[in-house]
Amino acid sequence: MRKIKQAVILAGGQGTRLRPLTNNTPKPLIPINGKPFVQYILENLKENNIREVVFLVGYLGDKIEEYFGDGSKFGLKISYSYSPIEFDTGSRIREARKLFDDTFLLLFCDNYWPLDLKELLKFYNNVGTPASVTIYKNFYNYTINKIKVTDKNLVEIYDKTGKSAGLNGVDIGYFILKKNLLRNLPKENFSFEKVIMQKLITEKQLAGFMSSHKYYGLSNLERIQDIENYFKPKNVIFLDRDGIINKKPPRADYVKSWDEFHLLPHALEALKLLTKQNYDIYIVTNQAGIGRGMMTEKDLQTIHKNFLKICNDNGITIKQIYFCPHDWNTNCECRKPKPGMFFQAAAEHNFDLTKALFIGDDDRDKIAGEVAGCKTYLMKPNSSLLKKVKSIVDPRILI
C-alpha cells in the first residue's frame, strides 16, 4: 500500500482573470472570508495527515512565502521553488522535481475539493497506474467537460476546449504521481497538461478518479461569492423522512396522502432543537409511489406543503426537501442507496458534505450517507429522533 506524505502545489500563475484583485496579490492569497484561499487547501491537506508541502511559485511568490513561512505556524513543513513568471506549469515542475517524494500529490492552487486521501489512495493502489487525476462528474453543469474517462477508469481524452465527443468530467487536479514519470522532460518552456499529461494518456498510464463532490475553482471574479458561501461555517444535517419524522406505513416505503402522514412522537421537538442550534435541515426521501403510479407529484407536494406549515407554525425551518420520484427498479442516481440527492443539495446550497450529518433508519440510508461523505447515524426501530438529536448537539447525553 503506497502512502503519501507530500503535496506539491502549482502557484506561479498571474491570475489575469482575477484582476484587479491580483494586481498586487498572488491568486493563492486572495482572501475568502478573511483567510487566503490556499489556506483552506492546506488545512484540508493537514486533515488528511499530509504534513509537507512544496509551493511552486512565480508571480509574487515572495508574498506567499512571507505569509506562510516555513509552515510551522500552520503545523506544516513548507518549502518553495521559485521560477520565472513566464514559466508554464511543466517547467515549474521540471525545476523543482528534486524536492519531490517518490510518490506525491500534485494540486493547483486555485482548486479546492474536499480531499479524502484514504479513498483516493485506495483507488490509486487498486487501479495500478503510475498516475491518477481527480475528475468532477459535473452533473449540474458547473463548467464544461474537458476529459473522458473509460469504464476501466483510464483517461482517454483531455481536451481543454471541451469540443471532443464523449467527455464526461472535469479535471480538477489532485494528481497522484510517481517522481520517475518526470524524467527526460523538455528543456524549453512547456505545459504539464499538454506534454506530461498527454503522454500519460497516450501510454494508458493515467487513471481518472471520478467524484461527485463539487469543486470550487478560484478562476474568475464571478465565482468568489459561491466560494465564500461554501467556506462559511455551517451546521448541516440531512434527515430521512418516513420512519424518522413520520410513521412509515406497513408494507410500503411511502405515504400516499396527507391523511397517512402521522408525525412520530417528539419529532417536532427534535426539529425545534436543531433549528435552535442553527442547523440547516434537509430532508431526503425515496418516494417510489410516484414512479409506481400510486400517487402523483402533486399529492406529494400537498403532503410537504402541510408538513412545512406545521414546521413554520412551530418555529422550525426546513431548508429544503429533496425526493426521488422513481420506481424501485429505475437505475437513477437519486434513489437511496445512491447519494444523488445529497450531492444535489450540496451543489445547490454550497456546503461541504464531508462536514454534514445524516440520520436515517435502514441500510440504504447508511450506504447513501457514507458514499456522500456524511457522518451517518442509523436509528433503531421505535427509537426517538429527539434523543438522537440531543446526543449529537450535546454528546454528554447518552443514546
Q: What residues act catalytically? A: 240, 242
Interacting residues of 265 by C-beta distance below 8 A, sequence separation 6+:
384
- Alpha-carbon torsion 323, 134, 9, 77, what sign? positive
13 and 59 in contact (C-beta within 8 Å)? yes
Q: Which three cell numbers stand for residue 78?
A: 513548507
Interacting residues of 382 by C-beta distance below 8 A, sequence separation 6+:
none
- Alpha-carbon torsion 372, 377, 382, 385, what sign? negative
Per the DSSP assignment, residues forming a β-bridge with 82 are: 57
Per the DSSP assignment, residues forming a β-bridge with 7 are: 53, 105
Interacting residues of 121 by C-beta distance below 8 A, sequence separation 6+:
1, 2, 3, 4, 176
Q: Is the peptide bond before 337 cis (omega within 30 degrees of 0)?
A: yes
Per the DSSP assignment, residues forming a β-bridge with 279 are: 235
Exposed (0-12), middle (13-18) or buried (19+): which is 232, by Cβ within 10 Å?
A: exposed
